[in-house]
Structure 1
């Protein structure tokens, strides 16, 4: 059998001790999609399925050292950013992005994590990173924080995606989260002057921890495989829907648990 070297995807974000979100969710997703995952840790978050208890922020030199170690050695084909505990660490990533060292950059602007300090400062720093992104994936609340107005309806989501694209990313997906239109869960996409919605049947589920991380990680992994952006978006939305459905009966922890991106709920043959 001929072994094919998997594409490398770099995730830059926070470590979640529960394993449900952050870098841990990203690495599971990369593996599930057939990519090899490398990481740059921006923060270590002590959390479980109920809440975050404490955060240890990595200093800019530590972040810079990790970036150098990975990028000097591994053939990174795509990059995803997630949580930054403060605006300081974003500067190191921005410098690499400006140098063209972060291919197929997917920015997941995590702004609602309990461990984040100074959300407005982080949002302002992320605005400087967005022009270097191929894809940005804010949810409605994150889009609201970035734009300074409340994104509440499908029309708002489309407008928000349009405004965020004007700030630099080639593609913006504003995910609807718990917004339901009829029986559908909607995401608004804006790219190259074209507006569209992605929809899927709404799944009512308790376990949704890490669904945003899985979505952006799956996009990055498919881009690393060479997919066109729209194909990567479609794949990622389908993967998240299946992962939520497959984990609907899980009872991991006393709060909302993780989703089943690896297909562990499927019968073992």
Structure 2
């Protein structure tokens, strides 16, 4: 039996709600074998990030080479890449190993406001990695940083998605969670020709840590299983909606989402 494999290249979250840990939980829940390349270790909990400790360039390069020499990921996700040097390395290894189905989650700022991507790395992400991406999944603040435009309405989200596709990504998904003025969350998916809209009710909860990581990881898992992009995003949206609605209530701050929730619902459990 051939098992779908997916690789995540991201930072580690000791609290388990985001980054590598969230990605692996999501892969597992969706029936995909997960592999990791760790770029940095974040010391954090639900109240914030207390420190970020980058892995050495050599250490990241060796992880990528070890993966490329023996595994066959059918989809690859990037999360926190931290600096321009790491972005260049990932782009180089991507070409070297001929991987496909790149999902870019442009992790730039933690939920509590701590920066997770150095300023000079934004341009490197645009120039070196976006042209390889099958889909890029920014939230509204990340889309503003990538495009240089202000986004305050649906039409501006659509324009930002168009700009990202012009930068090289095949699909752009602008997530609407930061549009706090609406009772509904509308995510805009652009395929270069048409828009697709994914709409769900807004859940009033503080337990949203790792939503972006989990959402993009679910897309990656579905792509690894052979799903078309629109289908992968649709399943991933249902996965993260369930994870937010069925909250775990962990921690004093921005608690993690519930990675068990989607499959429990599929089985008729709550």
1:19 shift after superposition: 0.7
Distance in 2 (alpha carbons) for counterparts of 1:83 and 1:220: 15
Alpha-carbon shift at residue 131 of structure 1 (Å): 0.5
RMSD: 1.9
SS at match of 2:204: coil
Using structure 2 for the length normalisation, give the TM-score: 0.92
Alignment partner, residue 30 of structure 2: 33
Q: Which runs of 5+ in 2 are unaligned?
A: none
Equivalent residue number for residue 226 of structure 2: 226
Find the aligned partners of 1:150 and 1:199 in 2 and give their Cα distance: 22
How many residues are treated as equivalent by the alignment? 263
Displacement after TM superposition at 1:139 (Å): 0.5
Matches of 2:153 and 2:169, distance apart in 1: 22
Structure 1 match to 2:50: 53
Whole-angstrom CA distance in 2 between matches of 1:251 and 1:60 = 37
Question: How far did residue 87 of structure 1 move?
Answer: 1.6
Structure 1 or 2: more helix by fraction: 2
Q: Matched residue of 2:179: which SS?
A: strand
CA distance in 2 between counterparts of 1:8 and 1:55 reads 28
Unaligned runs of 5+ residues in structure 1 are none
Shift of 1:6: 2.4
Answering whether residue 149 of structure 2 is matched by residue 149 of structure 1, we say yes
1:58-117 CA-to-partner distances (Å, cap 9, x unmatched) read 122211110010111112111000002222111111102234622110000011132525
CA contact (8 A) 2:135 2:169 kept: yes
Aligned to 1:125: 124
* Maintained 8 Å contact 2:109/2:117: no
Whether contact under 8 Å (1:55, 1:115) holds in the other structure is: no
In 1, the alpha carbon distance for the partners of 2:62 and 2:165 equals 31
Note closer, same or farther for the CA distance 1:191–1:100 as it changes in structure 2 (3 Å cut): farther
Partner of 1:101: 98
Per-residue deviation at 1:251? Answer: 2.5
CA contact (8 A) 1:81 1:106 kept: yes
Runs of 4+ displaced beyond 3 Å: 180-183, 264-269
Q: Deviations 1:155-194 (Å, cap 9, x if unpaired)?
A: 1111000000001111000101131575321011111311
1:214 aligns with 2:214: yes
Q: Secondary structure at the match of 1:72?
A: helix
1:56 & 1:182 partners in 2: Cα distance?
A: 37
Contact 1:58–1:89 (8 Å) recurs in 2:
no
Q: CA 1:268–1:240 in structure 2 vs 1: closer, same or farther (change >3 Å)?
A: closer
